[in-house]
Structure 1
Amino acid sequence: MNLPEEITDLIELGAIFYCSHSGGKDSQVMYTRLRQVIPEKQLVVIHANLGEVEWPGVIDHIRRYVIHPFHIVKANKTFLGMVEARGMWPSAAYRQCTSDLKRGPIFKYIRNDLKERGATVAVNCIGLRAVESVARAKREPFRYNTQESVNGRVIRHVWDWLPIFDLSTAEVFQEIREAGEEPFWAYADGNERLSCVFCIMGSVNDLRHGAICNPDLYRRYVELEKQIGHTMFMKGKVPISLEDHVGIKIS
């Protein structure tokens, strides 16, 4: 892996690299790359636990291959509880699930860990790739995070880095195999992405697979749609129920 000069400088500066690991293929290949180039004492793996709405076995899968300090963080709210309280599902434009359940707890951990270490420089490593979407292709692979950085009574400098930004999907799976590892089992059954079992960004195939493998959880999503009177998806400008979108009716 060829490191950007900025990353080499941050390694020499003693920056702590925080690898956000969802258990998905992109997180997995990102970690295999990072552990080759980041000094052992400067690499930490963090998983934002989504509780009942994430794929069962994800945490065990991460632990199977991670050899660095591994920390699990969790928000003080749940996804389904958040939806019920708001009366609406997240959308692509308003992804409260990401901000409140993932990004918030991860950055809280980073802030606390830096303080305990007496360190002031962090690199937040995220497994996003340009080919995933037009919006992600416009992201900067390396940028200074002004929101998480402070330079006053408290000194903290945080950078966001996308170490696998230029990889194709085929290259991701190839590098996982070359590392002697296996991706999470759901990919073998056709999943394209691994986040929440029923992610608003997931394909119909992923959602259908999730419903087949997790029927009780699927039922809770369907019933919550009916309870709050708001659907996860739209067909054009018309709301469509999860059952109709996925094509699986609950009895």
Structure 2
Amino acid sequence: MNLYLPDKIESLINEGAIFYISHSGGKDSQAMYNLLKNIIPYNQIVVVHANLGEVEWEGVIDHIKRNIEHELNIVQSKTSFLEMVEKRGKFPSPAFRQCTSDLKRAPIFKFIRNDLKKRKATIAINCTGIRAEESSARSKKEPLFYNTKESCNKRVIRHVYNWLPIFNLTTDEIFETIRSYGQEPFWAYKKNKRLSCVFCIMGCVSDLRHGAENNPHLFKKYVELEKKIGHTMFMKKGKSIPLEEYIGKQIS
């Protein structure tokens, strides 16, 4: 498979860098882990999952554990997704994805900082399964860069890189990789195109409808929260559109 594997990565491996693999339970994370475990020494891999609580698909954590050879480190924000939305009075949007920054990225980087300190290590590689094929915006990302914000400060010597190892892989190659390791993708992919929150602002209508069918209680919570805060998850032609209308399904 066409991993994005610059010479710098080999150099960082030799320097003892710790590779933190962010694993959502989705197809990209699953394929990425399997490919990386073959090129990075076992004791330099740490698997991290940002638990989204009740808005996460049921069985994600068990799925990850079944398909990795390392310990799974689970991190979680003190504030849940629905609490965050109610406090802000609005849902995240593709342009303002506070869910990603506050509920995923922040807890993971906090874990990385603490884990590096515990290991007395100084180099961290944050590995995420972002791919160029997913969107025009993602295709413009730099697959390997030095994370200045998370790196050195006056008190601690720390060097953090962000790496997108599967940046160049296609969706077909991702599923092929999973199958080649004798594994199956998470069960929701039988109907879903992508996997994130059950009701993700980036999800297509069929994914959201599948989420409502399998999680009616959670669906009801989202619908009621939209009414409570007077803000909807989606817009259509500049007009707010309730979740029920957007997916063509009513709460029971």
TM superposition score normalised by structure 1? 0.98
* Paired residues of 1:122 and 1:158 also in contact (CA < 8 A): yes
Quick one: which of 33, 36, 57 aligns to 1:34? 36
Structure 1 stretches lacking a partner, 5+ long: none
SS at match of 2:37: helix
SS at match of 1:143: strand
Aligned amino acid, residue 75 of structure 2: V
- 1:149-188 superposed matches below 5 A: 149-188=151-190
Aligned amino acid, residue 196 of structure 1: C
Once the two structures are TM-superposed, the CA of residue 151 in structure 1 deviates from its matched residue by: 4.6
* Paired residues of 1:23 and 1:62 also in contact (CA < 8 A): yes
Once the two structures are TM-superposed, the CA of residue 4 in structure 1 deviates from its matched residue by: 1.6
CA distance in 1, matches of 2:67, 2:205: 30
Q: Percent identity?
A: 65
Size of the aligned set, in residue pairs, is: 250
Q: Could you say which residue in structure 2 is the equivalent of 1:10?
A: 12
- 1:35-50 superposed matches below 5 A: 35-50=37-52
CA distance in 2, matches of 1:156, 1:116: 13
Once the two structures are TM-superposed, the CA of residue 124 in structure 1 deviates from its matched residue by: 0.2
Moved over 2 A (4+): none
Structure 2 stretches lacking a partner, 5+ long: none
Q: Could you say which residue in structure 2 is the equivalent of 1:191?
A: 192
CA distance in 2, matches of 1:64, 1:168: 24
Give CA-to-partner distance per residue, 1:214-242, whole Å, 9 cap, x none.
11100100010011100000011000000
SS at match of 1:224: helix
CA distance in 1, matches of 2:169, 2:33: 14
Q: Could you say which residue in structure 2 is the equivalent of 1:53?
A: 55
* Paired residues of 1:90 and 1:232 also in contact (CA < 8 A): yes
CA distance in 1, matches of 2:37, 2:242: 43
CA distance in 2, matches of 1:104, 1:66: 23
CA distance in 1, matches of 2:231, 2:153: 43
Give CA-to-partner distance per residue, 1:108-151, whole Å, 9 cap, x none.
00000000000000000000000101110000000000110015
* Paired residues of 1:142 and 1:161 also in contact (CA < 8 A): yes
Aligned amino acid, residue 191 of structure 1: N
CA distance in 2, matches of 1:69, 1:44: 8
SS at match of 1:205: helix
Aligned amino acid, residue 99 of structure 2: C
CA distance in 2, matches of 1:177, 1:45: 21
SS at match of 1:150: coil
- 1:133-152 superposed matches below 5 A: 133-152=135-154
* Paired residues of 1:19 and 1:46 also in contact (CA < 8 A): yes
Aligned amino acid, residue 232 of structure 2: T
CA distance in 1, matches of 2:180, 2:155: 46
Once the two structures are TM-superposed, the CA of residue 41 in structure 1 deviates from its matched residue by: 0.6
